[in-house]
Chain A
Amino acid sequence: MTDEITPELFEHLVDLAAFAFNPEEAEYLRRELNKQLKAIQQLEAVPLDGDIPLASHGVPYTKQSRPDLRSDTWQPCENPEEILEQAPQVEDGYIIVPDIPHTKLD
């Protein structure tokens, strides 16, 4: 089960991550990832019984320690304009981005 990240697979990951690299950067990153994988592959040797649970959090939450769900009461944000101010391009209150071209066939 030793997978190595090939250049093709690397390109696929770059795609998933919405990146773009020049060849030098790509090669450096791919090499470092494969080195990290060697460390990760240590995990394959760990004996795992069927019933060892997946730990999404380390600390278990009990009925007492979990906070209550939020009640359905309106809490308006005091400064929504400040949020909009952070956007790179705004017009008439809308955030503007370039379009994704649609190919209309038929």
Chain B
Amino acid sequence: MTDYETVIGLETHIQLNTTTKIFCGCKADSWEEPPNTNICPVCTGLPGVLPVLNKAAVHKGALLAAAMHSEIRLTSFFDRKNYFYPDLPKGYQISQYDMAIGKGGFMDLPMPDGDTRRINIEKLHLEEDAGKTKYEHGRRYIDFNRCGVPLVEMVTGPDLRSADEAAQYLIRLRQLLRWLGVSEANMEKGHLRCDANVSIREVGSTELNTKTEIKNVNSIEAVRAAINKEIDRQTALVDSGGRVEAWTLDWDDAHNRLNKMRSKETEADYRYFREPDLLSLELTESWREKVVAELPELPLARRARFETEYDLPEYDADILTGDKPLSEYFEAAVEAYAGDPKVVSNWIMNEILRMLNDLGVSADALTLKPEHLASVLKMVDEGKINSATGKSLLVKVQDSGKAPDVIVREEGLAQVSDDSALLAVIEKILSKNPEEVGSYRDGKTGLFGWFMGQVMRETRGKADPQLTRELLQKQLDGE
């Protein structure tokens, strides 16, 4: 059995989150709108219309290029890509062919073994989106709402080696896009679209064999599944003496299979030429420098810094830098807490993340601010409240908007740490439950937890657990 290596390149289309479309003043986001309402003469390709370039699309495209270590060209050009398709109203797409805004670039993808693999970027350019088509009863239903939305197309080299790596790349790309604030990058909403080019070759070979193109994968899991299916298919085919042909495959998510798409009638000759309705895109050196300076600390860099600066394990650092607002939340909380960052990390990874999931918001939208968290942690440290109370206190702060210490005071949540008060409660419980006391003293030591529970109930959760444990132990052991 021959050993094969998989060669994967990904072509992604990224919808930029500008306010308006790339060449006209219609909205870029029309997800909720009825069909053909977010349109104008320009984006529907009416006779006589002309494109006018959105400066925010240029800015976001440049920012992304900088983050991908791409050179931002000071002079770049738009070109027409000519072909017929019903959702392409002008019969050509305005794109960038040979002199695009981004030249070169790479992403250093962390591998599970701790290394990084450099994934090269071969193309990074701006272009306009087409409309949407629905198929039903042998007819096509066309909606131009999305037509003209700004896209960045990014194509990697054939540098990925497995479906998992491809999935990783997309996860990191999605993270980066949100981090930079250039795209919502929600694959299910089509903000991030991916086509995968897959081929196999014998291990050790450096040649590139015929590849197939997989389209219509709308989630990271679909990418993973589709690529794995295709690898299996190609492997079986080659093993049995067959030859891989350059098919275009459509991923059918509902049935978990790949279908061969009708190949384009002719090898499409797009007849690229410079778009005469647009001037060259001229950027100044100082503008370019500003864009690069504008780049925030990127996710992987921040992750590395969290590991060293806060002495956190990679696992924690990775979760805390999942998105920018969360990472900022963490750092603000650490600063306010001025204690062990690991403690903050634990509470965020558990309590805060759960809260964010439940509420469906990002960390910067919480009413429970980092300072509040720090305050709660300090109160637990001081023994003012126990940790269970602390956890519920977070929710109360989020719901009410009041500061933690205010709530503690108002609701009387302070921990009961008074020896005599606790002792009184313990004595009450022991005297009320003589049978259980007997059983315990007879050897059923497991009942200790039950007694703890009773004390907690009696004190409405406010008993200092440490102290309670000590006192209860003494009482049960019969002092």
What residues make up the interface of A, taking CB atoms closer than 8 Å to B?
12, 15-16, 18, 54, 56-57, 61, 63, 66, 68-77, 80, 83-84, 91-106
Are B34 and A93 touching (Cβ within 8 A)?
yes
- Our pick among B55, B276, B282 for the contact of A72 (Cβ within 8 Å) is B55
Are A97 and B86 touching (Cβ within 8 A)?
yes
Whether, in the assembled complex, B431 has its beta carbon less than 8 Å from a beta carbon of chain A, the answer is: no
Closest to B281 in A: A69
| Smallest beta-carbon distance B98→chain A, Å | 12
Known contacts A80-B40, A105-B260, A94 near B46 by CB under 8 Å: no
Whether, in the assembled complex, B31 has its beta carbon less than 8 Å from a beta carbon of chain A, the answer is: no
- Our pick among A76, A83, A98 for the contact of B138 (Cβ within 8 Å) is A98
Known contacts A80-B37, A104-B260, A70 near B54 by CB under 8 Å: yes
Q: Please, what's the 1-or-0 string for B52-71, where 1 marks a CB less than 8 Å from any CB in chain A?
A: 11111110000000000000
B25: chain A residues at CB < 8 Å are 70, 73-76
B39: chain A residues at CB < 8 Å are 77, 80, 83-84
Closest to A102 in B: B262
- 9 example contacts (A-B, Cβ-Cβ < 8 A) are as follows A73-B19, A74-B20, A80-B36, A80-B39, A94-B143, A96-B140, A97-B86, A102-B261, A106-B259
Are B53 and A97 touching (Cβ within 8 A)?
no
Are A95 and B141 touching (Cβ within 8 A)?
yes
Are A73 and B20 touching (Cβ within 8 A)?
yes
Q: Please, what's the 1-or-0 string for B70-98, where 1 marks a CB less than 8 Å from any CB in chain A?
A: 00000000000000101000000000000
Whether, in the assembled complex, B266 has its beta carbon less than 8 Å from a beta carbon of chain A, the answer is: yes
What is the interface of chain A mostly: helix, strand, loop, or mixed?
loop
Known contacts A18-B84, A96-B141, A56 near B262 by CB under 8 Å: no
Are B26 and A77 touching (Cβ within 8 A)?
yes
8 A Cβ contacts from B19-37 to A: 19-20, 24-27, 34-37
Are A77 and B261 touching (Cβ within 8 A)?
no
Whether, in the assembled complex, B296 has its beta carbon less than 8 Å from a beta carbon of chain A, the answer is: no
Whether, in the assembled complex, B197 has its beta carbon less than 8 Å from a beta carbon of chain A, the answer is: no
Are B269 and A16 touching (Cβ within 8 A)?
yes
What residues make up the interface of B, taking CB atoms closer than 8 Å to A?
18-20, 24-27, 34-41, 44, 46, 52-58, 84, 86, 134-135, 138-144, 259-262, 265-266, 269, 271, 274, 276, 279, 282
A104: chain B residues at CB < 8 Å are 259-260
A16: chain B residues at CB < 8 Å are 266, 269, 271
Closest to A54 in B: B274
| Smallest beta-carbon distance B412→chain A, Å | 52
Closest to B134 in A: A94
A100: chain B residues at CB < 8 Å are 140, 262
B34: chain A residues at CB < 8 Å are 93
| Smallest beta-carbon distance A70→chain B, Å | 5
| Smallest beta-carbon distance A9→chain B, Å | 13
Closest to B142 in A: A95
A73: chain B residues at CB < 8 Å are 19-20, 25
| Smallest beta-carbon distance A65→chain B, Å | 10
B57: chain A residues at CB < 8 Å are 72
Per the bound structure, the CA–CA distance linking A57 and B265 in Å amounts to: 34
Closest to B46 in A: A83
| Smallest beta-carbon distance A99→chain B, Å | 5
A75: chain B residues at CB < 8 Å are 20, 24-26
- Starting from the known contacts A69-B53, A73-B25, A100-B262, 11 additional A-B residue pairs (CB-CB under 8 Å) come to A16-B269, A54-B274, A68-B55, A70-B25, A75-B26, A77-B39, A80-B37, A83-B41, A93-B35, A93-B36, A98-B138
B144: chain A residues at CB < 8 Å are 95
4 tightest CB-CB pairs across the interface, nearest first? A75-B25, A77-B40, A72-B56, A69-B55
Are A95 and B36 touching (Cβ within 8 A)?
yes
B37: chain A residues at CB < 8 Å are 80, 93
| Smallest beta-carbon distance B276→chain A, Å | 6
B274: chain A residues at CB < 8 Å are 54, 56
B138: chain A residues at CB < 8 Å are 98-99
B24: chain A residues at CB < 8 Å are 75
Per the bound structure, the CA–CA distance linking A73 and B55 in Å amounts to: 10
A95: chain B residues at CB < 8 Å are 36, 86, 141-144
Per the bound structure, the CA–CA distance linking A103 and B261 in Å amounts to: 6
Per the bound structure, the CA–CA distance linking A63 and B276 in Å amounts to: 18
A57: chain B residues at CB < 8 Å are 276, 279
Known contacts A16-B269, A70-B54, A97-B142, A76 near B86 by CB under 8 Å: no
| Smallest beta-carbon distance A66→chain B, Å | 6
B271: chain A residues at CB < 8 Å are 16
Are A94 and B141 touching (Cβ within 8 A)?
yes
